[in-house]
Every structure is written in C-alpha cells, then in structure tokens.
Amino acid sequence: MIAIILFCALMVTLGQFGFYYWRTKVISVSALPVSDRVRAAAGIAATALGPGDFRAILGVYESAPHLGGSAGRFRAIRAYYAVVEKLGRLIPSIAKWSEVEMTSCSRYVAALVDRNLERNVASAAQIILT
C-alpha cells in the first residue's frame, strides 16, 4: 500500500516537473524576436502580438503544413491556450494572467513559424544556387 502511495506521489511530481519544464521552454522561445514576414502572412497590423493573434498565426502554419516541425508542439500549445482562455473567461480574477499567458502562446507559435519559414527560405536559396 505504501509503495502505491509513493508511486502516485512520484508520478504527480514528475508530471509537475514536466509541465514546468515545457512551460519554461515556451516562455524562452516566445521571447525570441518575430519577423514582419509572419505578422504580414497572418494579417496582423500591430507590431506587438497579442492574445487574439494565436489563431491567425496558426492559420499561417496550417495553410502551409509542409513547413515541417513537430505537430506535437502545436497540439500541446493549442490545448494549453484553450485551457487558459477558458479559465480567463470563467474566473475574472485571473483574466489578466490569462491574457499574459495567451500572448506568450501567440509569440511562441509565431517564433516557431518564423523559424520554419526561415529554414524554408534558406533551403530554397540553396536549391536555386545549385
């Protein structure tokens, strides 16, 4: 019985560690600069990305799925965005935190799409030169 309790506690602790590690990666990637190319492709006129830009940026990725990258990253960030958005609507006291997190999600996806676009441009340039 004690072994089962210890195992459950270990699983919860590992789950928390994994979530915090993933969230730290999201925050570090979202701090990267986003090129004007991504904002233009998503139809975003503002220079700073906001919480409402998430779906527009995902639209850019989905319109050109050949960009590559891990779809699992986008699956996880979509789920996190949906949960945070729902919590922000249901609990008004955390609405500000929710907006900050959704902005971070938007910047994360924009940075990944920008990285994939840059890779594609470099590959196309290399093909043209050969």
Q: Which pLDDT tens digit goes with each residue over 99-115?
A: 999 999 999 999 988 88
Quick check: 89 pLDDT over 70? yes
Report the alpha-carbon distance of residue 14 to residue 85 in Å, rounded: 25
pLDDT of the residue at 65:
57
Report DSSP state, residue 72: H
Range(s) of the domain holding residue 33: 2-129
pLDDT of the residue at 56:
92
Structure tokens that stand for 113 in this block: 């799409």
pLDDT confidence band for 60 (50 / 70 / 90) = confident
pLDDT confidence band for 67 (50 / 70 / 90) = low
Structure tokens that stand for 96 in this block: 């500000």
Can you give the pTM of this predicted structure? Answer: 0.83
| Rounded (5°) CA angle 49-112-27 | 65
Report the alpha-carbon distance of residue 108 to residue 20 in Å, rounded: 16
| Domains of the chain: total | 1
